[in-house]
Amino acid sequence: MILVLPYVQAQNPQESIPLADGSKVFCPICVANGYASGIESPKKWFFTANSVGAALWNVSIPRVQIGATFHGSSRGVRGLFAYQAVLEREKLPGLNLSYGLQSQETGATGSAVTLEKNFRFGENRINVFGGASRQTNETKLRTVFGTKYSPDGKWFVGNQFDGRAHNPFVQYVKGDYSVGFLLVSAKDLTLTFGVTF
């Protein structure tokens, strides 16, 4: 199940909020990954595309996401893996681990560790993540973070910082589909599309 911004309800602090069905920060160092075009859905597959590339994700295994992407400018095929190591709790963020491999080493893939928290106030939804990543062709750790806000569960606005540049976006979701605009590296405008099935 892909829930971009799940409903977070009050629970016993010792119990986990079930984010195996919840929000995922697919690949925090890859703007073709789906953070800007995710959809709330019980379906197990998610496809997203923009001018940067396309990605296909599967979430059949609880707490695990496996994806494959094609990146246009590098002509690289990527294999991506994300695991929710610690489930989000009412007052504590969840812990996500991700790793990516690419057919040619441009450095765009690598590993990341992020904390993620979801908030809901009436119809208002907020997703926030932050952490560190290391790309495959360098030893330097980079800060990654992002936020996504919706006033109604249909319109979303946010920003994803991939360690080098900001990638702001706006998105509209209807049913199993999403469309929007992503400003890649805060300079190149692209149309985004997402679908679950």
Mean pLDDT of 104-121: 79
**Cα torsion through 73, 77, 83, 89, rounded to 10:** 30
- The residues with which 120 forms a beta bridge, in sequence order, are 125
pLDDT at 38: 73
Max CA distance (Å), the chain = 48
| 108 vs 11, residue with greater confidence | 108
- Domain residue limits, the chain: 19-196
Model confidence at 124, pLDDT cuts 50, 70, 90, reads very high
Helix-strand-coil split of the chain, %, nearest 5:
0, 55, 45
Q: Domain 19-196: which CATH class?
A: mainly beta
pLDDT at 93: 95
Of the candidates 143, 75, 132, 82, the one whose C-alpha atom is nearest the C-alpha of residue 104 is: 75
pLDDT at 59: 87
36-95 pLDDT tens trace: 767 777 889 999 998 888 889 998 888 898 988 887 777 778 888 889 999 999 999 999
CA distance 136 to 133: 10
CA distance 91 to 49: 34
Residues 6+ apart with CB under 8 A from 11: 17, 89, 90
pTM passes above 0.75: yes
